[in-house]
Amino acid sequence: MRKSIKIILSLILFLLFFPLAHTIISMQSVASLSFYFLPFTEYTFIGSSMSQFLFWISVFLLILLIISLLIILFYPSESSFIQKNKNTGKIAIQKKAIENSVLIMAKEEPFIVDPTVKVAIKKKKIKIYVKGKLRKAFQTMEKQTAFTRKINADLNELFGIEHTIITDVIFKNYHGKNTDTKSRVL
């Protein structure tokens, strides 16, 4: 897990502690416990300001909960295939088939070395990630845009005009260091 996600989740859990502790303390009479918690108002330093703090923390967490719920409900799910309707029936094109066809196209390009392809299919949208070492060649950007157009043309030919599919091809520029050093003995 990324460090930023850990920090955000830890902060949310820390802020969630106070409303839950207040609920437990105020509702402790419902359960028959052998011990008794003091209410927040009886503590000298936090007694008067705790009610305002709990109110604003609860408002913040409620807004965060509503936003999270909307994101979860409307976030498009990833699929492992895309369907194409024909006159005679339906055709399901697997994600692996798209990955392999783009990988074959990438291996044919002379400016990409050791390409890897990852495809993410969502509703009417395909994202293609091509990673690999790029050779230092003349007009690399023009070659990348030509390669992107070639992939778009081939996929539009495959899926047809009735589908509006957006294809994003993202190149990761990776130049490895030359770690193969040989010592010479004279």
Q: Please give the Cα distance from 93 to 83 (Å, whole number).
A: 6
Last residue of a domain, one of 19, 49, 74: 74
Residue 183 lies in a domain: no
Among the candidates 74, 103, 128, a domain finishes at 74
Question: Is the residue at 14 inside a domain?
Answer: yes
Q: Does residue 182 sit within a domain?
A: no
Q: pLDDT tens digits for the chain (186 residues)?
A: 788 888 888 888 888 888 888 888 887 878 887 888 887 777 777 767 777 887 888 888 889 889 988 988 887 777 788 777 777 888 788 889 888 988 998 888 887 778 888 888 877 777 888 887 777 766 677 777 888 888 878 877 776 655 556 666 666 654 444 455 555 555
- Claim to verify: residue 93 and residue 169 sit in the same structural domain: yes
Give yes or no: residues 38 and 91 share one domain: no
Q: Are residues 88 and 161 in the same domain?
A: yes
Distances (CA, A) of 175 to 131, 132, 134, 135, 182: 11, 9, 7, 8, 20
Looking at the structure, tell me whether residues 35 and 112 fall in a common domain.
no
* Domain CATH number, residue 117: 3.30.70.1350
Looking at the fold, whether 69 and 99 belong to one and the same domain comes out as: no
Whether 179 maps to a domain, the answer reads no
pLDDT of residue 185: 57
What is the enclosing helix (H) or strand (E) of 123?
none
> Does 23 share its domain with 41?
yes
Same domain, 92 and 43: no
Assigned domain for 151 exists = yes
- Tally of domains in the chain: 2
Q: Which of 150, 152, 144, 146 is nearest to 168 (CA)?
A: 152
pLDDT of residue 127: 82
pLDDT of residue 137: 65
Within this chain, do residues 87 and 40 fall inside the same structural domain, yes or no? no
Shared domain for 63 and 110, answered yes or no, is no
Distance (Å, whole) CA 172 – CA 73: 31
pTM of the predicted structure, to 2 decimals: 0.56
The answer to whether residues 114 and 131 belong to one domain is yes
Structural domain boundaries enclosing 8: 3-74
Quick one: pLDDT at residue 29?
Answer: 79
Token duo for residue 169: 């091809």
